[in-house]
Each structure stands twice: as structure tokens, then as C-alpha cells.
């Protein structure tokens, strides 16, 4: 039903469609041309009444949904229709609705809950949106439980998300997000043993520690062990699905709309249908997930996602011809990296060459440098469109930070032969509900990701496994007892402690001298 509300909004309400009740969306009249943004609603049946006032500017058109091939009426956005009379030009920007934070919030909180009532198929398929650690382990757990899935991921070079590696050429490899991981949970420990057996990961044999401004280095003890993927972190993501037979991967693919119709979730990428599924898993977070959920018909899931706060971190990848001079207390050690204290532009420096080849081989020497979260926030720009001046400034500040951390004289650091700066705009969670996963049984939708439990790969893995199990249990229950399966829809968030690049339980400096190799 479409009705006018206080002359400023139109409410689109879909009629019941078989198997589900869809959502209500308010469209501000002033920006009606952007009704096209609501193409995800096209598969629902709308009864539309247009108030006279609007017929001057907007027409009803019958629109063929690109996603579902079903004809439905929506508010068209032609500038001139048969009812238009003389063409009128609007001074308002046609883009505003649908992109601002305010409008995303409004959509999030006004939407109605989708309720699936159709029976679940005997051979259900789950869509997993996000192919990072959590999405991949969710898919593998579903497979273990006999449930098929399709993983959609935006990655152009590969799966993995923040488990990312950039290979510039075979001699220049940089892990540009996760550097290593630690293990504290017995279930994760079992999994990591299995990965070690298969040769996907190994214990890192180098030394890391804490580095204070001016070059004072405090190495960490060798325990707890740190793990790295053998040829860069992304290779772990690539290997995880190598033996799976029930997981389909679609990449690169950016899912831009999810719509509930006829008892199934329909996923599309810019209007192109990417498949229909019995249940969905959101295995990513940040702005993109908020936008996707804002008109999904999953208000409780969307509200939890919106509570999440994320830091921003700059990454500098820098290759040097010669090895960098190490601080006195690190000389002679297989120095792989350090958490940096007291320097705003740098929170971590890591030597990829040492880590991956376990030696200071002939150059280039590839270093990954991360900023602090406060530096990231202060220098935040749109990550997909970094102005050159900002990139240059950030690079110079971070190189100066490296110089300071290593205790070198000002302007004495050798110039890198290769650099690249990148902003992780949604880097790490700063708060968490502390639950393994979220699941909405009415909407047959779940969320997994690091932020549900913490801020590291272990948290992401455990969350994915948990949601895989929970979703499989729900699907196997036939969906008849939804109340038993609601999880995490109302949990409060707590602030997360840890390093700027995540939590590493047991890995703290006690600043007392440590005998390496003793
Ligand atoms: C700079 C940095 C350093 C870090 N260092 C460490 C470390 O040393 N050790 C450690 O344990 N952890 C570290 N972390 C944290 C760790 O990387 C994350 O906790 C973990 O990788 C998160 O996995 P995830 O599956 O939850 O999310 P992600 O890895 O973010 O996966 C989400 C995926 O979803 C995709 N996606 C998003 N939207 C869509 C869409 N609409 N359609 C399709 N696909 C979509 C994304 O492209 C991405 O591939 C670091 C993180 C950062 C940013």
C-alpha cells in the first residue's frame, strides 16, 4: 500500500508474497526520483496510489525487475511523462536520499521484519556474503553438516578480506592487513593443527616485540607461538576451500541488494540476479553491510550491525634495497616486527621478507607499517579515492615514524624503492557484543565476523564456525521452532581492549630482558 504521510513521505508497503512478509519503506517526496534505488522491492506486489501533488513530477511505470523478471509497478522517475505537463526542473540533488548516514538510519529503523513461513527445502543452500576468514569457515562448517553454500566476495585478486597479501612481483610480497595470529581457544587450536599438517600455516620462528620511540626494543618470549601462512596470509584463504565440494565461490562480486521473496532470499549485484537462497549469512561489516541491511527487512540484525564501531588504520607498504638498520637490542636477532609505542603515525612495523623467507636475503626488503587508530581517524579520507596529497603526506609521516621507532637520525632512513599507502577505513572493531554469532530465525539470516567476539583472526574463525553450526541446526529443524534459534539480537556491546591491529592473548611485553633461544 502506498499512502501519504504528513505530506512529506510516501510509504511503500508490499502485499504478502508467498512465504514471506516483506518490508515497509518510506520515500521522502522531495527525492522521489531516487525511488529507483528501491529496485530490490520490485519482486513484491505493490498497490500504489499517487497523491495528485506528485503526479505532476512523478509517474507510475511498470518496471521489470532485473533481479526476478517479475513485472511490478514502482514509482518511475522519468523527468517528463504524459502527466507531467511542462517540464519542471528540481533544484534538489537527486542523489541525497539513500546515501546519507541519516537516511540509512531512517531506513534501518523503519523497516518491518521479514517473516519466512515457507517450509525449508530438503537440500537448502545458504548465501554467504563475504569471503574473509569468518565467511569461509562458516561455509566449511556448513559443508561438514551437509549444507551447501555459495560464498560471494568482492576480492579481485582472491578471497580473504583482511587476510590480505599483495604480491607486487615474486620478490616483493607484503601482508597488508593481518600479520600473524595467535591461538587461545582449544577448537581453534585443533583447526590450526590441521592447517599446519596440510602445510597451509607454520609457526613463525622470528622475533617480535615492543619498540619504543628512539629504538628501545623489548622482545617477546617465543611462547605463545605465532602462526603465519606460508606464502603470505592470503594463501591461507585460498587454501581453505581447496578440498571442499559443497561450497561455490562467486568472485569478484559485490552483492548490492538482498530481497525476501517467495520464501527465498534473492541476491543481486547492481540489478543482476546472483541467485536465490534458503538463508543468508552476512560475513562482512561496516558501511557496506549497514547499507545492505538498511532495507533488508531484518531490523534487529541491522540494529546490531549499526552498533558496531570500527577504527581506521593506514597501511604503508615499503620496499628497501638494503636491510634497515635495527635497534641495538634487536641486532643479531631474526627481527620480524614490533608493536611501536609513543609514535602517533606508527603502531606496527613488520619485515615481510624476514618473516616469509626466514632470512635477510638479498633485497628488496619488504616492510608493512601500520598507523595508530588515532592517526587513522585524523587523516581519514574516502578509502576508494585517496587524494594524492594525502597519500604523500601520510607516507612521509609514516616513514618519519619508522625512522624514530628504529632510533635513526632524522632524514637518515634510506628512500624506499617501492611504496604504496592504503587506508583500512573499517579496520578493526572497537566494541563487541561478545557472542559468537547473531541469528534471526524469522528472517533466516545470520551474521558472523571477528567483531562478534573480538578483533583478530581467531575471533573471526570461531564466529564463522559457530554460525555455520547454528544455521545448520536451524535448517535441519525445518524452521518450525524459530524462537529456539534467535541469538544475539539484543545483546549489549562492550568496549574491546587490545593493540591497534587486534588482540593477541598472552602476547604482552613485560619489559624485562628475555633470553631468546635460551
Ligand atoms: C591493518 C590490520 C591489521 C591486522 N592485523 C592482524 C593480525 O596481525 N592478526 C590478527 O589475528 N588479526 C589482524 N587483523 C584483524 C583480522 O584481519 C580480522 O579480524 C579478520 O581478518 C576479519 O575477518 P572477517 O571474516 O570477520 O572479515 P573480513 O576479512 O573483512 O571479510 C569480509 C569480506 O567480505 C567482503 N565483502 C564486503 N561487502 C561485500 C558485499 N557486499 N558483497 C560481497 N562481498 C563483500 C569483503 O571484501 C571481505 O573480503 C588486522 C586487521 C587490520 C585491518
pLDDT per residue as tens digits for the range 46-95: 222 233 333 333 322 222 233 332 222 222 222 222 223 333 333 344 43
Tally of CB atoms within 10 A around 377: 12
CB-facing half-sphere around the CA of 358: CA atoms within 13 A: 9
In a domain, 210, yes or no: yes
CATH number at residue 385: 3.90.660.10
- For residue 114, the CA-to-ligand 1 centroid distance in Å is 28
Residues whose CB is less than 8 angstroms from the CB of residue 86 and which lie 6 or more positions away in sequence, other chains included: none
User: What per-residue confidence (pLDDT) applies to 363?
Assistant: 74
- Report how many domains make up the chain: 3
Q: Whose CA is nearest to atom 26 of ligand 1?
A: 449
Question: Mind spelling out the 3-state secondary structure of 79-119?
Answer: CCCCCCCCCCCCCCCCCCCCCCHHHHHHHHHHCCCCEECCC
Under 8 Å between Cβ of 112 and 23: yes
Q: Does residue 370 share a domain with residue 329?
A: yes
CA of 181 to the centre of ligand 1 (A): 13
Helical residues (DSSP H) of 264-320, grouped into ranges: 287-294, 299-307
Nearest-CA residue for atom 6 of ligand 1: 178
Closest atom of ligand 1 to CA, residue 457: 11
- Pick from 341, 336, 337: which is nearest to 349 by CA? 337
Is 172 part of any domain?
no
Paired residues of 202 in beta bridges? 228
Protein residue whose Cα sits closest to atom 10 of ligand 1: 456
Pair 300, 316 in one domain: no
Tell whether 386 and 402 lie within a shared domain.
yes
> CB-based burial of residue 19 (10 Å sphere; 0-12 exposed, 13-18 middle, 19+ buried)?
middle
Nearest Cα residue to atom 35 of ligand 1? 130
Residue pLDDT, tens place only, 2-36? 333 333 333 333 333 334 433 333 333 323 322 22
Model pLDDT, residue 407: 97
What 3-state class would DSSP assign to 489? coil
Tell whether 327 and 337 lie within a shared domain: yes
Q: Which residues pair with 257 in a beta bridge?
A: 268
Q: DSSP label at 347?
A: S
* Binding site membership of 132 for ligand 1 (Cβ less than 6 Å): yes
Choose one of 40, 132, 225, 504 to mutate for the ligand 1 pocket test, by most ligand atoms within 8 angstroms of C-beta: 132
Closest by Cα among 61, 20, 10, 60 to 44: 20
Calpha distance 501→504 (Å, rounded): 9
- Domain shared by 281 and 335, yes or no: no
DSSP3 helix / strand / coil % (the chain, rounded to 5):
25, 30, 45
Q: Which residues share a beta bridge with 502?
A: 499
C-alpha torsion angle, residues 67, 73, 77, 80 (rounded to 10):
130
Within this chain, do residues 154 and 283 fall inside the same structural domain, yes or no? yes
What lies within 8 Å, CB to CB, of 65 at 6+ separation is 39, 42, 43, 71, 72
350 lines ligand 1 (CB under 6 A): no
Could you tell me the distance, in angstroms and rounded to a whole number, from the CA of residue 34 to the centre of ligand 1?
A: 32
Establish whether residue 183 lines the binding site of ligand 1, counting it when its CB lies within 6 angstroms of any ligand atom: no
> Where are the alpha helices (H) located in 114-218, listed in sequence order?
133-144, 186-198
**192 located within any domain:** no
The confidence score (pLDDT) of residue 61 equals 25
Instruction: Tell whether 212 and 326 lie within a shared domain.
Output: yes
Residues of the chain with pLDDT under 70: 1-109, 358-361, 509-518
How far is Cα 282 from Cα 280, in angstroms, rounded to an integer? 7
Do residues 398 and 249 both lie within one domain?
Answer: no
pLDDT at 249: 98
Question: Could you tell me the distance, in angstroms and rounded to a whole number, from the CA of residue 161 to the centre of ligand 1?
Answer: 4
**Quick count: other Cβ atoms within 10 Å of Cβ 160?**
26
Do 90 and 131 belong together in one domain? Answer: no
Can you tell me whether residue 482 is helix, strand or coil?
Answer: helix
Q: Is 496 in the pocket of ligand 1 (CB under 6 A)?
A: no
Q: Is the CB of 179 under 6 A from ligand 1?
A: yes
- 395 domain residue, yes or no: yes
Question: How many Cβ atoms are within 10 Å of 476's Cβ, its own excluded?
Answer: 13
User: Which CATH number goes with the domain that contains 484?
Assistant: 3.50.50.60
Q: Tell me, yes or no, whether 334 and 457 share the same domain.
A: no
Ligand 1 atom closest to 455 (CA): 19
Instruction: Give me 332's grid cell.
Output: 643479531
State how far the Cα of 126 lies from the Cα of 123, in Å rounded to an integer.
10
Instruction: Determine if the pTM surpasses 0.95.
Output: no
Would you say residue 377 lies in a domain? yes
Same domain, 290 and 316: no
- Ligand 1 atom closest to the Cα of residue 155 is 47
Answer yes or no: do 27 and 145 share one domain.
no
**Residue-number span of the structural domain to which 11 is assigned:** 2-99
Q: Could you tell me if residue 193 is inside a domain?
A: no
Specify if 372 maps to a domain. Answer: yes
Domain final position from 395, 424, 453: 424
For residue 106, tell me if it sits in a domain: no
**Residue with CA at minimum distance from ligand 1 atom 19:** 456
Amino acid at each position: 500500500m502506498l499512502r501519504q504521510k504528513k505530506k512529506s513521505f510516501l510509504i511503500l508497503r508490499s502485499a504478502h508474497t508467498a512465504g514471506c512478509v516483506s518490508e515497509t519503506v518510506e520515500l521522502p517526496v522531495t527525492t522521489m526520483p531516487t525511488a529507483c534505488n528501491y529496485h530490490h522491492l520490485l519482486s513484491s506486489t505493490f498497490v500504489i496510489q499517487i497523491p495528485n501533488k506528485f503526479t505532476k513530477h512523478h509517474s507510475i511505470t511498470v518496471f521489470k525487475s532485473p533481479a526476478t523478471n517479475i513485472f511490478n509497478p514502482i514509482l518511475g522517475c522519468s523527468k517528463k511523462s504524459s502527466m507531467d505537463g511542462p517540464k519542471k526542473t528540481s533544484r534538489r540533488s537527486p542523489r541525497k536520499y539513500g546515501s546519507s548516514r541519516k537516511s540509512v538510519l531512517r531506513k534501518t529503523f523503519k523497516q518491518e521484519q521479514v517473516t519466512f513461513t515457507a517450509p525449508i527445502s530438503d537440500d537448502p543452500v545458504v548465501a554467504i556474503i563475504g569471503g574473509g576468514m569468518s565467511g569461509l569457515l562458516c561455509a566449511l562448517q556448513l559443508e561438514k553438516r551437509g549444507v551447501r553454500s555459495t560464498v560471494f566476495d568482492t576480492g579481485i585478486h582472491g578471497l580473504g578480506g583482511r587476510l590480505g597479501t599483495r604480491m607486487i612481483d615474486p620478490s616483493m610480497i607484503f601482508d597488508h592487513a593481518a600479520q600473524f595470529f595467535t591461538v587461545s581457544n582449544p577448537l581453534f587450536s585443533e583447526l590450526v593443527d590441521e592447517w599446519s599438517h596440510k602445510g597451509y600455516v607454520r609457526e613463525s620462528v622470528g622475533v617480535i616485540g615492543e619498540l619504543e620511540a628512539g629504538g628501545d626494543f623489548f622482545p617477546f618470549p617465543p611462547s605463545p607461538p605465532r602462526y603465519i601462512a606460508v606464502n603470505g596470509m592470503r594463501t591461507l584463504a585460498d587454501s581453505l576451500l581447496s578440498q571442499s565440494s559443497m561450497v561455490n565461490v562467486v568472485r569478484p562480486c559485490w552483492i548490492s541488494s538482498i530481497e525476501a521473496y517467495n520464501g527465498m532470499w534473492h541476491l543481486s549485484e547492481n540489478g543482476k540476479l546472483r541467485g536465490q537462497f534458503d538463508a543468508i549469512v552476512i560475513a562482512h561489516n561496516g558501511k557496506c553491510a549497514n547499507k545492505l541491511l538498511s532495507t533488508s527487512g531484518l531490523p534487529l540484525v541491522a540494529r546490531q550491525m549499526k552498533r558496531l564501531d570500527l577504527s581506521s588504520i593506514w597501511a604503508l607498504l615499503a620496499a628497501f634495497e638494503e636491510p634497515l638498520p635495527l635497534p641495538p637490542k634487536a641486532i643479531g636477532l631474526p627481527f620480524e616486527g614490533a608493536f611501536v609505542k609513543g609514535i602517533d603515525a606508527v603502531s606496527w612495523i613488520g619485515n615481510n621478507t624476514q618473516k616469509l623467507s626466514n632470512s635477510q636475503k638479498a633485497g628488496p626488503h619488504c616492510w608493512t607499517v601500520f598507523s595508530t587508530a588515532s592517526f587513522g581517524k585524523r587523516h581519514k579520507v574516502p578509502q576508494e579515492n585517496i587524494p594524492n596529497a594525502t597519500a604523500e603526506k601520510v607516507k612521509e609521516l609514516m616513514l618519519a615514524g619508522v625512522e624514530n621507532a628504529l632510533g635513526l637520525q632524522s632524514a637518515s632512513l634510506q628512500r624506499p624503492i617501492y611504496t604504496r599507502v592504503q587506508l583500512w577505513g573499517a579496520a578493526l572493531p572497537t566494541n563487541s557484543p561478545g557472542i559468537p554469532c547473531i541469528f534471526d530465525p524469522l528472517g533466516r539470516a545470520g551474521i558472523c565476523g571477528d567483531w562478534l567476539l573480538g578483533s583478530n583472526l581467531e575471533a573471526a574463525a570461531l564466529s564463522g564456525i559457530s554460525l555455520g553450526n547454528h544455521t545448520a541446526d536451524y535448517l535441519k529443524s525445518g524452521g518450525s521452532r524459530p524462537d529456539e534459534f534467535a541469538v544475539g539480537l539484543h545483546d549489549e556491546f562492550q568496549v574491546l581492549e587490545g593493540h591497534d591491529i587486534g588482540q593477541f592473548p598472552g602476547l604482552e611485553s613485560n619489559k624485562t630482558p628475555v633470553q631468546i633461544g635460551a
